[in-house]
Every structure is written in structure tokens, then in C-alpha cells.
Amino acid sequence: MELLYIIAPAYNESDNIRKFIDDWYPIIETYNGNGNSRLVIVNDGSTDNTYEILQECAKTRPLLKPLTKQNGGHGEAVLFGYRYAIDQGADYIFQTDSDGQTDPTEFHRFWNLHHEYDAVIGNRPKRQDGLYRRFVQKVLLLILRMTFGVKIPDSNAPFRLMKSNLVQKYMKKMPKNFNLPNVMLTTYFSYFHERITFVEISFKPRQGGKNSINVNRIVKIGWQALGDFHNLRKHLND
């Protein structure tokens, strides 16, 4: 029996969250771990009725687990979900976002590789979420290559299947409220030559609602990340 925990952060996703659950709940039913796997949606302090919708949906879906926390941003919500999955004894963690940009039917390809690799990470060669974000991604990959010496095709894709003990191992190396945990997990996996592979995925435009990470926030996170990357590089082998 292998326990799978699907982790999805949600902030003001009342327009999307029902469809997201309808799309992804069949996945956790298929890989249900004898009824112990979970679809975990982390409400990151939404100011709309996202959490109320989650609670309503959970009444008829026993494998759906809504969590809620104060708003701290996407990265903090992802880490919150990872810690919960680890505490619950998950064997595998899959992370995606609740904005409808990823395709649940592509999950099966990832699961088919889970015995061959310790992490299977999405690669978005044709992401459809805007020119600015594609530019930011290219700059980020260049910075990671210059700072850590890693060459990776996509560091931050919200479509990744990972062994939970591997996530736990490298989460210890980053601050508890780190803004870009998936970026650093991918970087650590590559730097320390873990058994990982990248698989191309589709990546659609946001399916509704409003993106909570605007240009100003991207710039702010980027400047903070430069300092964080420098500090993390100094302590890579601690």
C-alpha cells in the first residue's frame, strides 16, 4: 500500500475550486492507498468563500482534506501542505495548483515512473500563462545555473511527484516560510544527483479568478530570492 497525498494551495479560488475538485478527485480515488490517500487543498487565508466551498465538497468526498491557514503566500502554503503530508505518513507527495492550468489526465504518466525515479517533475516547454512569466522563468533558470551549477529545464512547475522522505530531507535546508520551495527542491535534487526526471506537460492559461502573484510581487520575490539563493549556496553541504 502506497499513500499518495496530492497537495494544492488555494487563495481566492472560488471561481475554480469546484471544477478543480471534480477534475482531481477521481485521481485520488484511483490511487487511494486503501482509502488512506488524500487530496489536500490548503486554503491560504482566502478572503472569498473558497474555504466554505471546500468544506461543503468534503462532506461527500471522504478523500478530500481541506486545510486552512493565515495568508502567507503560495510558497508557504505549499510547505504547509508538505509538512502535513509527511506528518500523516504519506509515501508520495504530488503538488499541483488549484487554478486549472494543469491537466489531471497527465498524472498517470508520472505515477508510472514512481518506482524508477524518486522525483518526477513537470517541464512546461509551451506554457500559456504570458510572455512575462516565461521571461522570468528563463532568468530564474540562468540564476540557478550560475549560483548552484545546475542545468534544469523547469525549476518551479506545479506538477511534480516526489517521495515524501526526499522532500523532508531537503525541506530541512530551507527556511520554514521560504517563498520558492519547489525551486529549491528541484535545485537540491539536481545538485545532489538524486534520481529525478523531467516530463513535458501542458500548461493552460488560468481558468478563472485572478492571479494573486502580480508583476510587482514577482519582482519583490525575485529580489528576495537572490539573497536567499546566496545564503543557501553557502550552506549547501551543511
How far is residue 172's CA from residue 30's CA, in Å, rounded to a whole number? 31
From the CB of residue 167, how many other CB atoms can be counted at a distance below 10 Å? 26
CB 144 within 8 A of CB 183: yes
**Confidence at residue 151, expressed as pLDDT on a 0 to 100 scale:** 96
CB 177 within 8 A of CB 69: no
Helix, strand, or coil here: 96? strand
Please tell me the CATH superfamily of domain 4-234, with its number.
Spore Coat Polysaccharide Biosynthesis Protein SpsA; Chain A (3.90.550.10)
10-residue stretch averages of pLDDT, the chain, 238 residues long: 97 96 98 98 98 98 98 96 99 97 97 98 81 78 93 96 98 91 97 98 75 59 75 85
Which grid cell is 112? 508510472
- By C-alpha distance, which of 187, 9, 191, 219 is closest to 95? 9
**Confidence at residue 120, expressed as pLDDT on a 0 to 100 scale:** 99
Domain locations along the chain: 4-234
